[in-house]
Amino acid sequence: MKVAFLSVFALDANASLINALRKKCDVYFFIEALYEISNFIDKGKLNKTITIGTEVEELKRFRDFISLDKTYVIKGTRNLNILKKLYISHKINQLLKKINPDVIILDNSMLTYFVSTLSFRKKILMIVHDPFLHSGENIVIDRYLRKMHFSLIENKILLNQNQKKDFIKYHDFDPNNIHTSFLSVYNFLNYHKTDKKLISSGFNILFFGRISPYKGIKYLLEAFVQILATQNLSDISLTIAGSGDFDFDIESYKQYPEITFMNKYLYPEDLANLIFQSSVVVCPYTDATQSGVVMSAFAFKKPVIASNVGGLPEMIGDQKMGLIIEPKSSEAIVNALLKLYNDRDLLHEMSKNIEKTYFYGEKSWDASAELFINAMENIR
């Protein structure tokens, strides 16, 4: 089966999925270079509208992971420049017609591939990363483009099973056209790790990702300060890392030497090293779908404490690869952190479960790719 994968997102899950798919399919990968922080490709170095992957310096480290001679990097432009955007979309469609894929996987509802969406809509399997838009992030243009793509493309695939029923009911979709798979570990991060030091003997708690109201960071900070006030622990620390604006005042938390704020965008090298040095990752979200944060943590076999929202319980499994807790509860975070702090054997057992399940078992990328292939067979 010949497959074209059209993406505008970071390499993260896409590179791993394509690596698994290419074992059974002939895969062509398209990725847009627009903002460097989105996929770590400097579009200023691109001198063509579409550049073959073998000529893109930032991709060369992945030469053994994805087929660079079947990878195409698009020199993107913002949606405001609509005429240029549509011209680029036309050029992409011309190349796709030459490739003549049996199926197209589309992971976005942007204008970059709009001409191809119209031309190939019967062949497209659309990845719906967020079955329901996050609170505080319901942007009008994104909602409109999403609705338009939903109407054009019949076959969609969610990355968790938990939200499938509600997604079908909410949009009144045909259940036969809604498929599911899952994210596995973001093992591409291992290509970026530069910190070779031994992991610290301290108990290092990590939150990372984009700063947004639905992430529930204030509950984590409240919990950590409560631990400092009530427990005599000298080897515990918390790092909050990611770009974005906090929706509450963090000044009072900066007085604690045990708390580190890294309010900046995390490049893969930074992220890989932070996770490598952590003991546990916390996702105190107030709502969610699936989470790339969990899969990034699992790439280094780090257990995750996460709220019982969206597909997070499905990804983690309470007591198996982390702990699932009540959302919006600082007390629940306190109890979960102290449980893992006081039981390092459980922490180690969870790490082994991550390896067994996500690297070699039923949640591996090979298993995820098989579900994608089953969905694509429904389209051919």
Collect all residues with Cβ–Cβ distance below 8 Å to 137 and sequence separation of at least 6. Answer: 212, 214
CA distances for 60 relative to 32, 64, 68, 192, 226, angstroms? 16, 9, 8, 12, 46
Q: What are the structure tokens assigned to 314, written together? A: 């499905």
Q: Distance (Å, rounded) from C-alpha 34 to C-alpha 17?
A: 22
pLDDT tens, N- to C-terminus, the chain (380 residues):
999 999 987 677 888 999 999 999 999 999 998 865 556 788 889 999 999 999 999 899 889 899 999 999 999 888 778 899 999 999 999 999 999 999 999 999 889 999 999 999 999 999 998 888 755 555 677 788 889 999 999 999 998 888 899 999 999 999 999 999 998 998 888 877 766 665 667 999 999 999 999 899 999 999 999 999 999 999 999 999 999 999 999 999 999 999 999 999 888 888 999 999 999 999 999 987 767 899 999 999 999 999 999 889 989 999 999 999 999 999 999 999 999 999 999 999 999 999 999 999 999 999 999 999 999 998 86
Q: What is the pTM of this model?
A: 0.79
Strands 50-52 and 103-106: unpaired
CA distances for 108 relative to 37, 228, 304, angstroms? 17, 43, 27
Q: Distance (Å, rounded) from C-alpha 237 to C-alpha 278?
A: 9
Q: Distance (Å, rounded) from C-alpha 322 to C-alpha 315?
A: 10
Q: Give the DSSP letter string of 263-274.
A: -S---HHHHHHH
Collect all residues with Cβ–Cβ distance below 8 Å to 98 and sequence separation of at least 6. Answer: none
- pLDDT value at residue 40: 76
Q: Distance (Å, rounded) from C-alpha 6 to C-alpha 93?
A: 11
Q: Distance (Å, rounded) from C-alpha 296 to C-alpha 239?
A: 16
- pLDDT value at residue 292: 85
Note the helical H segments in the chain: 12-21, 36-39, 82-99, 114-120, 140-152, 164-171, 217-230, 268-276, 292-299, 312-316, 330-342, 344-354, 365-377
CB 189 within 8 A of CB 299: yes
- pLDDT value at residue 36: 55
Does residue 104 sit in helix, strand or coil?
strand
β-bridge partners, 128: 158
- pLDDT value at residue 153: 96
- pLDDT value at residue 134: 59
Chain-centroid distance of CA 36 in Å reads 17
CA distances for 42 relative to 32, 45, 58, angstroms? 11, 6, 8
Q: What are the structure tokens assigned to 109, written together? A: 């509802």
- pLDDT value at residue 130: 84
Chain-centroid distance of CA 168 in Å reads 23
Q: What are the structure tokens assigned to 27, written together? A: 């895969």
Q: Distance (Å, rounded) from C-alpha 61 to C-alpha 43?
A: 17
- pLDDT value at residue 361: 94
CB 8 within 8 A of CB 108: yes
Domains present along the chain, CATH in parentheses: 2-183+364-377 (3.40.50.2000), 188-359 (3.40.50.2000)
Which of 11, 17, 13 lies closest to 3 in space, CA to CA? 17
